[in-house]
Structure 1
Amino acid sequence: MTGIPDDHATTNKAFPFTDKASGGFGDWRDEFNRQEFCNQVGSLLLEHRSPEGIAISIEGEWGSGKSSALAMIKAFLTIHKQDLSSKSSGSLTRIAKFKRWLRRHRRKSPLAHEDCTPILAEFNPWLVGAADHMIQAFMAQIASELGQVNQNAKATEAAQRLIAYAQLLEPLKWIPGAEPWTSIVRGVVDKTGQGVKKVSELHKLNIGKQRDALKKTLLELGRNIIIFIDDIDRLPPAEVFQIVRAIQAVSDLPRCSFVIALDPFYTEKALQTAASFESPGQYLDKIIQLRLFLPQVNKADLELYFEKRLWQAITPLQQDRFRDEQKRLSQIWQLGVKPLIQTPRDVIRIINRFLYIEPKCGTEVCWGDLLGLQTIAIVLPNVFRHIMQNPGAYTGIDMADSYQRGSHQEHVDQFADERATVLKSLPDKTRIQTQRLLEDLFPLLRKYSYDKLGQQEFSKNRRIAANDRLRIALTYDLPSDEVSQADVQSFCCDPASRDNVIRRVIAKDLLDRILDLALQKIDLSTVPDKREFVVFLGTIVEDQQINGRSQGFRSLFYMSTIDKIIRLSEVVLASLGDDGDELSVLSDLVSNPAILSLATHLLARILAKREEGLQQSEIASTKTFIPASENPVLKEWFDTAVNVLRSEAFAEIADKWIIVRILLSLQEGREQIPDLLLPHINSDHRIDAIADIFISNETDSAEGTTVACKNEYLRELGDPGIIRARADSRLSDPLVQANKRLVAIYKSIVQQQKIYVQNAEQEQEWSELSS
């Protein structure tokens, strides 16, 4: 697709667009180069002065613009019917040959120039709603137009005779409201006066004589009647047959010509169904003298039509997004969407759907993929239905199975036959084009490996090949368990919006998700305030409101959220450089007591990397004790941690356990830790708050989580006897008894056994505890 046209760059017209027929007046523009074709048809009708009527069909598939063509022909006739000398240049070959045929078959008495202004009538069979009365309604509409010709006695007489003739074809009751079309007749009755009151006697007349009288009146009228008939392809088969019969019944009347819009495939199929015609096409040929297909729409015109409608509706903000995504949008348009769009109606329906969905998820899904998916929904509904029912057959991820086995490619290949069945009913050319579009949208469907990126890469580029982006596109909005791309961007790169974003995310319990997306989608080197961002992450860790949502910090962050925050912080800080000292990036951070938990975790990661032979986690025990004084950053952290432990604020720290472990790895820390912890141990409130630091081992199993507090470890924290006595006294407190985790920790200390958290009464012997 090209860029935004200059004449539409700031236009923002309301949608949805309609596909109503273009009127051909005012500022209307011929966007598919069909005006010349319609002018030639109109010229043919104007120049036809013979009493013999003609029938012309304008044929095309549903939505191809037949109604607009009829409107253009009628507009031409309305403007030029007074000027019969007006002729169009460059006539089509078939129309030129037909004109020559008409000249050879004209009667000896052509119409006088002053009498040949045609009477234009429209008939929409869709409004009748009853196949049994189609012929009568059709004639009543023609009579209505005749009856409205001012100061023309012959027109009035023709209207009377036409109504009478229609009544003779099938007994009718001219009672207002008796049938859907009688309101049409009522206007004719008012204009034609007393003559119509005698219609009730006409059933006694011979149909042939009445028809001859009608013909004579129409000949004497001296004006051609041109009837436009539309929407035949919207009728059920029985009504299609009846409207064709109605045309046949009137077509041999003098002065009556027809311009009929129809879909030949549907019309012939309907005639075959309703009347069991073996050759319905030949039946139409007997009634219609000139069958014309609409000129084929040039793909370039269709593309321009699409672009103009799109630019008319999008906002300036959407225009900016288009500029950012033009490459992908152009790729999907040229290779996938453009070949599948066949008619102007396809364009309108796709644009309406796209413009409805884009404001809801356009920032989450790239425009090209969103457009491709909406094209499938409109043009290939069965394929779209299959994507809705089984998205994993295209992305490689089963949305309903969190423990899917096998690779994404294996999962996609598993449904190859199912996808082939869906595509089997399509014509060969359409099937090939559809397969190409699907492969562009879902690269795992390709037989070669090009562009087969991983889920994270697809998601980062907002491609629907990513499971999370496809979910958004299919739900037309952000799912309840998803975070918007805009919020992720603001969280990382907009300091002013950061706090509001994180509060909204936490309220929806989506903290883990926004951290995942930040790691996947954002170039963290572009974070404008890197140290401030890490500080902000540290305050999230320490936030009491977050901690209060569960039973303690570790049950919320353990091995998941805290690791993501640490990783996010490490990536952001990595771009600052370390000047040869990894610890230098933590300067100023380790001295901030408000983020002590995160700063300690970051410090622990660096210290763990420094220790050779440590193959376990950052909390593994080591016999090598580091002097805090050997590094300014380490000394800075030590002083901050000691000051916090000396105050009641330590009880409010989110992850006290990691702080104690790092203190125990430092020479100065091992010496001071018993004295630092004793005031907290002697306080009922504070010992409960720091109880997690007494856990030397915590494991998960099929039976649940267990905690163990080894004597050797308790000795490092203080006097085991004092700690055990305090734990035993706390077990009688009702507040402790209401907390299963506290009960398990205190029982493990007192009984020197491994205790299940879920059922603290269930004890497991473990000889190592008493060692």
Structure 2
Amino acid sequence: MVYQLDPGQLLGDAPLQADAPDAVGLREVAASIATALANLRTDASLVIGIEGRWGSGKSSLLAEVERALVGAPAARPHSLVHFRPWLVGNRDALLEQLFAHLEDAVAGIEAARGDTTRQTLVQAKQVGKALRGFAAGVKRAGSAVELAGDAAAFAPLKWAGKGVAWFGEWLGREPAAKSLETLRARLEAALKALDHRIIVTIDDIDRLEPAEMLELLRLVRSVGDLPNILYLLCYDSAILAHGVSQAAQVEDGQAYLEKIVQLTVPVPLPEAFQLRHWFEVTLASFAAPRDEDGASRLRTVIDLEGGRRLTTPRAVVRVLDALRFLWPTLEKAGADLADLVWLQLIKEGNPALYRWIEEYCAAAAELSLGTGRVGEEERAASLDLLVARAGKDWFGSLHYAHHFAEQLPGLELNYDKEGARFRLHGTVAERERDRALAGRRLASPDHYRLYFALAAPTHALKLADFDAFWAASREGAAAVSQLLIAMQVRPSGRSLSQIDMLLERIRGSDLTVIDPSQAANILLGFADGLDLVYWARPFERFWVTGPWDRAERLVVPLVERLDDGLRAATVDAMFKGAALSWLTNLFRHETFAHGRFGDRPKPPSEHYFSASELDRITATMRARYRALSLDAILEAVSPIDILYAWIQGADAEEVEHTRAFIAAETVDDSQFLRLLDALRSAVTTSDGQFKTLKVENLAPFLDADTALARLRELAVDINRPELARRAGSLIEAAKAAREF
């Protein structure tokens, strides 16, 4: 049998279509059922159940039976009524809709037989009239139908005897009950005389709420129990029986159901190899592995994983639909088809296990990138979770367990019968890792997320980027600096730059494994390159964590990798680096942390450097600041930080020198305005971010009152309009500072 579908067509949960391939032989079964239905030699009402668990193909079988009944040779003519109760809101609507469907069917009989005998036409019209009369009578009875329902289920109600008497008592109108009995008798006689079977098909009863299930069954068994009316119900018997048991408050819902359904036709279970073959052949119509190795792995996946997961036609359709949806995008990304199929099979059969695999792959990627660690307790907890989600005996087969372990990096099979089946996050050989990278496999740290999110991992970095960084750290500080600058200008497609991600991942890695010389080169690379990193592509520094902050967090663990001699040389060399603004941030942090400025020293655990190291750093930074011109300060990334660091790390003599330097350098009005502009502070409110000029920002360097008076003079200087404009803007910033 050849199964061929449009590669772009998703089937969803729809029943088998008339022109679709019948992969599991439902049409042959349906033809036999239709023949049996069409040739039943009884005019009694009959309820037949098509039973099967969800996904087994009940709806498809019912659809095929309906198609087979159209024009099928029959002992007597028949008509089909498609009644779908889940589209109806309540009991009254159920009654109305059922009678409306039956009336439509009778009207169809009238139309079909109108050109034959006068007698047949008359009989059909009589049925229609009797049906409308009975429907009106039932509607008048109202909710009494519901209240008499349980008795009707076990002793079919003919609207006579005790049932009719009860109706009369309830309504307070005995004649109305007798009228209803008369109407029913007329309808029964008309249906028998017509000698035409009406087959009512009802699908998905098991998807109703329990109360709705019970209401529908009562309706079928009591009100709808009429001659030549045959009901074909489609349901999962276990679910329906459970729902009935809940709604009717009976102990044995199955026994209740058996009183209503006279005979059942179980949906035949397709053979496992049929389902796998259907899956395999259909998959081949829209996807193919890249090479023979991929084809071999795909066959194994379908055989082993598919053999466990493809247990119903619905499962086959759902996995195929998922692959039809995902594969066009992933094929372009170079993903591996066998890995994708394996993962989708697991997602269909066990979504919780699918999520475990996602978490495991993410952790494995972190380990491979050297940016994460998994302790023994975490391994044990993850293994327990794997067993819990897969099921205690799921990995009982050694062959299957081996296949499962092959799909994931570092998942090792434990052949010790006394121990756990797997060991997690074992060492991945470099050759194995490289094969996964080259094949863009699920086991690749660079590509695993393709299979879960149709996108590269959120870190937006490849293993090659980390390899390059560690190689640069071995080569020297200049190589580290150059790599950071190159990465900063590389587009990342998100607010986090690639340097953000690199430094964050490195922070989470085990830095104890790197050589002291590598640690020194990284620190010196930061000290030389981080200002240039900012200028290459500026980033927010006010409060949003950025590359400077992430590099600063690495200082302590990197310094701790240095022995005494290398540490002293590295710290001294660091603060002579070209990244003066970033180094100034470190210097200010230590000035406050050690309590050399301000009145809130931090505990030693929060110090970056020792007191003696800070002494040397302070001397170096003072000398560097003294050597700067005001132009050089104002052209730095953060002039205000440099000026504050100079003052905060200075003694009284140095402070006086600094103020004298500022006074001399700002004799020129343009330089004066440049300085004040650099001393503005950012203030963020709900209305946005503002640059304010606070008096406390001026005071360490200038006499604030004198500076503001000078500003006011410049703001009204009509001979120098550009300077006046700049001065006016600074006056507004000073006013804003008072508001905030």
Above 0.5 in TM-score?
Answer: yes
Q: Which residue of 2 aligns with 1:307?
A: 280
The amino acid that maps onto 2:129 is Q
- Residues 501, 246 of structure 1: CA spacing in aligned structure 2 closer, same or farther, 3 A cutoff? farther
Q: What number of residue pairs does the alignment pair up? A: 525
How does 1:32-51 map onto structure 2 within 5 Å?
32-51=24-43
- Letter of the aligned partner of 1:412 in structure 2? R
2:64 to 72, 75, 81: 72
Cα distance in structure 2, aligned partners of 1:758 and 1:338: 75
1:243 deviation in Å?
A: 1.4
* Counterpart residue type for residue 367 of structure 1: L
Shift of 1:238: 1.0
- When residues 18 and 418 of structure 1 are mapped into structure 2, their CA distance, relative to the original with a 3 A threshold, is closer
Conservation of the 8 A alpha-carbon contact between 1:23 and 1:75:
no
Deviations 1:650-692 (A, max 9, x none): xxxxxxx99xxxxxxxxxxxxxxxxxxxxxxxxxxxx997999
1:240 aligns with: 213
Post-superposition shift, 1:356?
A: 3.4
The CA deviation at 1:135 is 3.8
1:252-291 per-residue CA deviation (whole Å, 9 max, x = no partner) reads 4221222221111111011101112222222322332321
Within 5 A, what are the aligned runs for 1:415-454?
A: 415-422=382-389, 439=405, 441-442=407-408, 443=411, 447=420, 454=427
- Partner SS state of residue 301, structure 2: helix
Counterparts of 2:492 and 2:552 in 1: how far apart (Å)? 20
Give the AA of the match of 1:730. A
Alpha-carbon distance between aligned partners in 2 of 1:38 and 1:228, rounded to the nearest angstrom: 14
Q: Structure 1 residues 757, 254: CA separation in 2 closer, same or farther (over 3 Å shift)?
A: farther
| Map of 2:378 onto structure 1 | 411
Q: Which amino acid aligns with 1:119?
A: S
Distance 1:758 1:738 in 2: 19
2:5 counterpart of 1:18: no
Q: C-alpha distance in 2, partners of 1:758/1:32?
A: 85
Question: Structure 2 residue aligned with 1:338, among 301, 307, 327?
Answer: 307
Kept in 1: contact 2:276–2:310 (CA 8 A) = no
- For residues 190-228 of structure 1, what are the alpha-carbon distances to aligned partners after superposition, in whole Å with 9 as ceiling and x for unaligned? xxxxxxxxxxxx957533332222121111102222221
Q: Distance in 1 between matches of 2:137 and 2:397?
A: 56
Measure the CA separation in 2 of the matches of 1:544 and 1:398. Answer: 29
Aligned: 1:125 with 2:125? no
**Structure-2 separation of matches of 1:241 and 1:133:** 15
308 and 759 in structure 1: CA distance in 2 versus 1, 3 angstrom threshold: farther
Counterparts of 1:758 and 1:392, CA distance in 2: 52
For residues 349 and 165 of structure 1, what CA distance do their matches in structure 2 show? 45
The one-letter code sitting in structure 1 at the alignment partner of 2:491 is: R
Are the aligned partners of 1:224 and 1:257 in contact in 2 as well (CA < 8 Å)?
Answer: yes
Structure 2 CA distance for aligned equivalents of residues 375 and 480 of structure 1: 25
Structure 2 alignment gaps of length 5 or more: 115-120, 143-174, 415-419, 467-485, 506-528, 540-546, 555-564, 582-586, 591-604, 614-619, 653-740
The one-letter amino acid of 1:731's match is L
* 1:96 counterpart residue number: none
- 5+ residue gaps in structure 1? 85-112, 174-201, 489-498, 518-540, 562-615, 622-656, 659-686, 693-697, 710-722, 746-755, 764-771
Hey, what's the Cα distance between the residues in 2 that align with 1:506 and 1:170? 65
| 1:463–1:232 CA distance, 2 compared to 1 (3 A) | same
Tell me the residue number matched to 1:61: 53
Out of 477, 489, 497, the residue aligned to residue 509 of structure 1 is 497
Secondary structure of the equivalent of 1:373?
helix
Deviates more, 1:359-368 or 1:126-135: 359-368
Aligned-partner residue type, residue 89 of structure 2? G
Residue 733 to residue 452, structure 1, CA distance change in 2 (3 Å): closer
Letter aligned with residue 120 of structure 1: L
Alignment of 1:623-662 (within 5 A): none
CA contact (8 A) 1:395 1:467 kept: no
Match of 1:347 in 2: 316
Identity of aligned residues (%): 22
Distance 1:423 1:215 in 2: 57
- Looking at structure 1, the residues matched to 67 and 353 of structure 2 have their Cα atoms a distance apart, in angstroms, of 41
- Check the 8 A contact 2:85/2:94 in 1, yes or no: yes
What pairs with 1:83-482 in structure 2 (closer than 5 Å)?
83-84=73-74, 116-149=76-109, 150=111, 151=114, 152-171=121-140, 203=176, 205-249=178-222, 252-314=225-287, 319=288, 321=290, 325-359=294-328, 363=333, 366-384=336-354, 391=359, 395=363, 407=375, 410-422=377-389, 439=405, 441-442=407-408, 443=411, 447=420, 454=427, 457=432, 460=437, 462-464=440-442, 469-482=447-460
Instruction: Quote the Cα distance in structure 2 between the aligned partners of 1:359 and 1:707.
Output: 61
Note the alpha carbon deviations across 1:690-715, whole angstroms, 9 max, x for none. 999xxxxx9x9964479999xxxxxx
1:136 and 1:167 in contact (8 A); partners too? no
The structural deviation recorded for 1:62 is 1.4
AA at the equivalent of 2:381: Q
Distance 1:272 1:501 in 2: 66
Relative to structure 1, is the Cα distance of residues 413 and 369 closer, same or farther in structure 2, using a 3 angstrom cutoff? Answer: farther
Q: CA deviation at 1:15?
A: 3.9
Give me the whole-angstrom Cα distance separating, in 1, the residues matched to 2:401 and 2:12: 30
Partner amino acid, structure 2, of 1:735: A
What's the TM-score, normalizing by structure 1? 0.54
Distance in structure 2 (CA, Å) of the matches to 1:350 and 1:482? 29
Structure 1 position 731 matched with structure 2 position 628: yes
Partner of 2:714: none
Following superposition, the deviation at residue 248 of structure 1 comes to 1.2
Distance of aligned partners of 1:118 and 1:506 in 2 relative to their CA distance in 1, 3 Å threshold:
closer
CA distance 1:136–1:736, shift in 2 (3 Å): closer
